[in-house]
Each structure stands twice: as structure tokens, then as C-alpha cells.
Structure 1
């Protein structure tokens, strides 16, 4: 190695150490930056030609070090696993939140729930059976039946409101997904151009990968890296981002919960109209729109019809205070409108029209009946094995079990996601202890390279200024 080539080797060593210090400083500066991946200088030895030197007297070892390549430290398998796990966690969380909202709508257990209102109705009929001639007892029956109907309608209204709010949430999510997908496509184009121009793209790639992870959370997207540094994004096998081109999505289907059966809400591409199979938060919210909330609405509607049928049947089997046959207590849909939880309504009866008696008085129309057997029969409906109480308890218990299972799944998935995040952080996260060690290493390397330059300078000074001066 000649002295002049040694200067080149020393200068590359200085450059390599300086490059390492610069990258270490960048890592330390971004230790708390979300989505930042630590960077490393790829040091590679230069030299090693297969063509021998013409006048070489020894094997060449010069060339120095190449420090031009700086790479992000990432594990592709962990990144793909993270996309999968955050998608699953977001879906389960959305489903659990939907069930929690249904629980809030039913307000069980509590004094304002339908179960408590039913208990008040049974108590009112029981008190009426003991005092069938008391107008206050008759009025109490009608009041508590009216409160029950109001409670059922309020629960149905809360479920309808939850459905509308969930659909609005999906609409907002769609807008966010379209914005993020367009940004990913734009960053893909910038990364491709920068790569062709030989410019650094690590920070751009970090921003893009953070957006891809955001899409995984929102809609269950997965990123597919390409050789040119570009990442394609797919959702359930449908392309969302291809290179620098993105495809929008929109929410299709009914905007009313009553139309779910024939035109269920769904996500489709725009343009194209291809139905997506999303994951993440979108999947959980669509499950709430198409299954969870409509399912419990249907159960509540069936319960409301059972309330109307049960009370009407039992009440019409008795006689009121004037000896007339009992009338239906609730509107039974005879006018062509089916009974639902939304329209369950107590008919406008007077206290005297409450059919507390089982038998008609002998002098009907003149002497009121003191018989309270029909009121007692109505009170005993609470003990029926397949009666209103049993049906409603079954509904509430099923809801509680389903909500508890959903919450447990979220807790388990949270542990899995945290483990994957920790594994990703251990690979791509910045460790200050490691960076301090690297900083000292590059600092000493820089000092040694500088000392090497000084040594070569002294050798050249001797060669140039002192050679041939012996004996002068």
C-alpha cells in the first residue's frame, strides 16, 4: 500500500465513522418518535480487485470502507404479524363495544330496566287481586303497564340510536381509510422516485408503514412489499393500493336498520362496486350493523309481541268493574300495524275497565264484582316456565354471556398484540444504551482514523522533504 492510497483509506475511515455518528445521532433524536425505525450504517470493505497491479511488490490491502448505505432495521415477518394482530384486536374491540352498547340499552340489572318494570306490574296485579274494588289499585295497574310499554319503547329507541351511530362511525372510518390509502400511494411514488435518484427514503418508508398499520387497524389491510421498495396494500384479497395508485371505498346498503335484512350495510370499492371482506374496526362495526344490534332488536320485538299477546289474552278472559268482558290492554296490531318494541302502546282504558274478576256478576251492570281471581291469574303469569319473565331473563342472560365472552377475547388478544409489539420494538425500536455504545465505538474509530492520517502525513513529509538530503 502506497502512502497516498493510505490517505484514501484513512479518509474513508473518517467518513465511515462520521456517517455512523450521524446515524446514531438521528436514532437518539427520534427515540420517542412514533413509527420510527432505528437505522444502521452498512459498513463494507472496499477493494479486492481481480486484476493484479503491474508493479505491485505485495498484495494490495487498501481500499478503505464504504459507508454509503443506511438501512432501516425491521423484521418483515414481525411487521406482517403485527398487521394481523392489530386487525384482530380492533375487530374484537369493536364487537365488544357494540355488545356493551346493547347492555346499556337494556339497562340490566337496575331499577330502570324492563325486569324491574315487569316486577312492578306483577305486584300491581297481586295488589289488585286483594283489593279488586279499589280504584287506586286499578289505576296502579294501568300506570305500571304504561311504564312497561314506555320502557320497552325506550330500549328499542336506544338500540335504533346505537345502530345509527355505528353507521355514522363506519362512514367516518371510510373517509379516514380513503385518505390514508391515498397517502400511502403518494408515499409509494415518492419512495420510488427517491430510490431511482439515489436519495434516502428511510423516513418516507417509516411514514408509509405507519399508515399501512393504521389501515390494518381500521379495515384489516395487509402490506405486500415489492422489490423496488413500494408496498401494495390489500383488503381481503382486494387491492386497495397498487404502487402509486389507490382505490377508494364507500359504504353501501341500507341506511335504516329496518332494511338490514334485504340490503345489509357493506363496504364496496369506488369505483367498481366490488364487495370487500374487511377486518379490523370496520369488520366489528359491520357485525354490529348486520348481526348484533338487529338480532337484539328482533328479540326485543318478539318480546313486545309476547307482552301484548300474553296480557291481552289473560285480560280478555275476565270481567271489568261493570261486568263487561275485559278488553285488550295493548294495541294488538289489528289495524294492520304489527306490534313491535317501537310501537307497543297501552290502550286508553279507564280504571273501571280493568278486568279483575274471573266471573261475571249476577246483576251485571248494577252491582260491581268483588271477584279478583282474574287479577290473581295475571299476577301468576310471572311464574310461568315459558312466560314473559322467563323469556326476558333468557334474553338478558344470553346478552350478558355474549358480552362477557367478547370482553374476555379482547383481553386475551390485547396480551398477544402487546407481545408482538414488544418483539417489533426489540428489533426496530431505539435503545439508548445500544446507541451510546455505538456512539463511543464510532468516536474511537474516528480518533483512530484521524491518528492514521497524521501518521501518513509524517511519513510523506519524511519521504518528500528528507529523502536525498543525507550528507548535505
Structure 2
């Protein structure tokens, strides 16, 4: 037989459940502008009917409802959209970093320009043409020396500035890696908190949100795979469990665990000398940097791939194409031996400088100055853009003539001037200036390609972000509607309790008083 007070209990449950829904709505409204917050809903479910099955139970035409309860409070997320968002975030991180690196290089090279290497070459050739018109004019020779120094200084400046940016990128790699390690640590700490909460039957939605924000940020730098693992105990079905994060190398090697439960790995970016990449020069004499060799990942859980270092390694070939900001930084900084945006540009400048110095000096040594009987003088010194120098100081030593003692002879200078239009085999049959224009032109093409890709990625990323927001973000109009709905349900349950109370009052105070 059902309890006399069954109606009170039924509507008390309804009252409490609607109150929980109101509180959850209030929590949603309060966090409408919180980064990464996912709106939450109360999953209401009917409580078991009365009576329970049994031969000794009274006969009823059907189960009597006993009310409602809050089965769980669940955040609204779409795992598929989350995966899409993180994949595009990773791609966007790659192209944004690439655009930044190329833009910094373009700012330094700045072609066409009145003060760049191309203009310095033009001024240098013109100086030689002026000398051929009047070989004995000392002022023209002095201008040639001055323009030669400008050309050398242009190469020196370009080398210095590009290496300075390369060092800054190396430092940015260090900072980014430290940030990745911090993210891994924070995710592991949240996993630990979740492990303590879920087995007691609670669903820590706010912790899930904080963890997802960290994973989003991590994916911008490094593409990772995610696996959720149940915590056991009394964990509810909607509980998401701890998060295991792995990196899957592109060559089919076993996944490398970065976070598992409350444990986390530490990443270090190593150069070819076995030292951490930090933006410090490898060789102060040349100002060069040792290129990226590998990631070194401290092992957790699984046995390490390298028993000597106790860590796994990830080389450049195992990195994902368009795989986040770190990959883009490494491509710019340099990897393996001389590969990468900045090492290749610096090598091209060194090739151009060395070939120009060698070719020009070869012809200049065969000529003679104004009062020169010996010849065999170099005009330039050096073998790279960094040590490119003019060694001639006396205008009379400029080898204009191809014959000793003929001050009006300009044949050697004509041969030097002809280098302006002469194809060079080492430079791919290009002239000196055309070779330089070629490498700056290729840079411009790469810059345009990167800019196009970043715009495309931004558009797609925005579209996915909007889809994600429409699913998970708080919409105040919807929450206000829910608030009114739950408020009305709460009032109705309160009114029902009043009705039940009135019926009980009739039974308690109005029955058995006949004639009184």
C-alpha cells in the first residue's frame, strides 16, 4: 500500500530537481563570457515507479509515478567538432608561424629597395662604367671603392640581421617548448583532480572545460592524439574520465605518450651537437647556429626507446606536415644539415658572395693600376656574406688596365664590367644580380603562398569555431527561456505540495469529527 505522504515526496523531488535545473541555468548565465566554458544541462529522469515487482505487492492498475530526479549534470560537447577544431587549429598554428618567419625575412631583405643588395650591385656596375670612360680619373676610382664597400656592407648587414632573427626563432622554440611542457603538466594535474572526483559519482564539467582549453592550446603547437580512460568506482556514464595524450610519428613508429593519468612527459628540442636549442650561437666566429636534430621526450609508462638517455626521440622526418607552430619554427630555424628557411637563405647569400668575390678577384689580379708594374692584387677579401670586405684602399691600385704602364688602358675594367651580364655556372647560369633577384623572388612566392594558406585556414577555423560555439556556448536567449520553464515547473511543484497538504489536512483535521 502506498504511503499517505507519497504525494509530498513525489513533488518534493520535482521541487528539488527543478531547483537544480535553475541553479545550473544560473551557472550557465554566469559563465556566458568564460573562455572555453561549455553550457550544461540537467539530465532529468523519472524515479522508479511504485510498487516494485513482487508477489506480495498490492494490486494496482499500473505503476504509480514517484517523481523525477537529476540523473546527471552534463556539459554539451560534440567530440567530432572538437576533433575538427583541433586539427584546423594545428594547421593554422603552422601557417601563422610560417608567415611570421617569412615576413621577418622580407623586412630585412626588403626588395626592391634603394638600399638593398640589388641596388648596391647596380651602383657598383655603374662605377665601373664611369671608369671605362676616363680610366685615369682618380675620383671615379674612389667612387668604385666606396660602392664596393657599400656592396660588402650590404652583404654583411644581411647576414647579421638574418642570423639575429634565426637566433630569435631559436629562443622562441625554447619558449614554445617550455610552454608545451607547462600545458602537459597542467593537463596531468587536472587528470589527477578528475581521478579523485569521478569515482564518487560526481561529474566535474568545469574541470573538463579547463582541460579542453589546455588541449586546444597544445594542439596549436603540436598535433596530438587523445584517448579518454574511465576512472572506475561510481563514475557516471557521462563522466569523461582522464585523458591520455600521445604523439604519433608519421613513419608508423609506436605512439609516444605525453600524458597518462597524473603522469606527464617533458619535451626538449635538441640540435645536431646534442645541446638544447635556445637561440645561442653555436660558433661565435661565424655567428652560425646548430640546426634542429630531434625532440627528446622523457618516457612515462612505457619502456624508453633509448635506454641510455631514458627517453624517446622524434626526428624531423617523423614530424607531421603542417604540424603546428613548433614544426614551422623548426622549418624556419633549420633542421638536419643546412635545411630550412633561414639556413638556405644564408647559404644562398654565401654562395653569391663567394662566387662574386672569387670571379671579380680573378680578373682584377690580371690587371694593373695607374703606376702598377706587378698587378696581382685582390679587390675583395672573404668567402662568405659575413666576411665580405674591400681590401683596396688606394684608388691608383684599382686594376683598370690589362697592360702594365698603360694608364689610359681600360680593357681590364671592361672585362670586370662585363660580369654584370655574364652567366655563372655555379649560380645556375644566372648573372649575379639575377641570382639575387631569383632568391628574393622565391621568397616572395613563398610568402604569398603562406599568406594565402593562413587566410584559408583562418576562414575554415572560424567556420568550425562557430559550429562549435553554436553547439557548446551559452546562448542567453535560450537560457532565459529555460529559466522561465524551470521556474514555472518549480512553482507548479510547490503548488502541488500545497494541494497535497490541503488533502492531508482534511484527513487529519477534518475526518472523525462528525457532530463536533
Counterpart among 118, 123, 126 of residue 120 in structure 1: 123
Residues of 2 paired with 1:75 and 1:167: CA distance?
A: 37
Structure 1 residue 371 displacement after superposition: 2.3
5+ residue gaps, structure 2, are 232-240, 249-254, 300-309, 335-339, 424-429
Provide the aligned C-alpha RMSD in A. Answer: 2.1
Deviates more, 1:316-325 or 1:283-292: 316-325
Deviates more, 1:218-227 or 1:17-26: 218-227
- Which structure's residues are more often helix, by fraction? 1
* Structure 1 position 330 matched with structure 2 position 380: yes
Counterpart among 239, 263, 267 of residue 295 in structure 2: 267
SS of alignment partner, residue 451 of structure 2 = helix
Matches within 5 A, 1:24-35: 24-35=25-36
In the alignment, is the contact (CA less than 8 A) between 2:74 and 2:203 conserved in 1? Answer: no
Structure 1 residue 209 displacement after superposition: 1.3
Aligned to 1:251: 269
Residues of 2 paired with 1:262 and 1:85: CA distance?
A: 31
Aligned to 1:387: 431
Residues of 1 paired with 2:491 and 2:158: CA distance?
A: 76
Residues of 1 paired with 2:257 and 2:94: CA distance?
A: 20
Identify if the C-alpha distance between structure 1 residues 261 and 30 changes in structure 2 by more than 3 Å, giving closer, same or farther. closer
Aligned to 2:504: 460
Structure 1 residue 163 displacement after superposition: 1.5
* Structure 1 position 60 matched with structure 2 position 53: no
Aligned to 2:354: 305
Residues of 2 paired with 1:285 and 1:266: CA distance?
A: 13
Q: How many residues align?
A: 460
* Structure 1 position 11 matched with structure 2 position 12: yes
5+ residue gaps, structure 1, are 333-338
Deviates more, 1:311-320 or 1:402-411: 311-320
Identify if the C-alpha distance between structure 1 residues 58 and 4 changes in structure 2 by more than 3 Å, giving closer, same or farther. farther
1:393-413 deviations in Å (ceiling 9; x for gaps): 111111111111111111111
Structure 1 residue 119 displacement after superposition: 0.8
Residues of 2 paired with 1:214 and 1:127: CA distance?
A: 61
Alignment TM-score, normalising by the size of structure 2: 0.85
Residues of 1 paired with 2:88 and 2:209: CA distance?
A: 19
Deviates more, 1:251-260 or 1:445-454: 251-260
Identify if the C-alpha distance between structure 1 residues 109 and 257 changes in structure 2 by more than 3 Å, giving closer, same or farther. farther
Q: Which has the higher contact order (CA 8 A, sep 6+)?
A: 1
Residues of 2 paired with 1:82 and 1:251: CA distance?
A: 27
SS of alignment partner, residue 40 of structure 1 = strand
In the alignment, is the contact (CA less than 8 A) between 1:38 and 1:428 conserved in 2? Answer: yes
SS of alignment partner, residue 274 of structure 1 = strand
Aligned to 2:208: 205
Matches within 5 A, 1:185-200: 185-200=188-203
Deviates more, 1:31-40 or 1:64-73: 64-73
* Structure 1 position 36 matched with structure 2 position 37: yes
Aligned to 1:318: 367
Identify if the C-alpha distance between structure 1 residues 326 and 143 changes in structure 2 by more than 3 Å, giving closer, same or farther. farther
Matches within 5 A, 1:269-308: 269-270=297-298, 272-276=310-314, 277=318, 279-290=323-334, 291-308=340-357
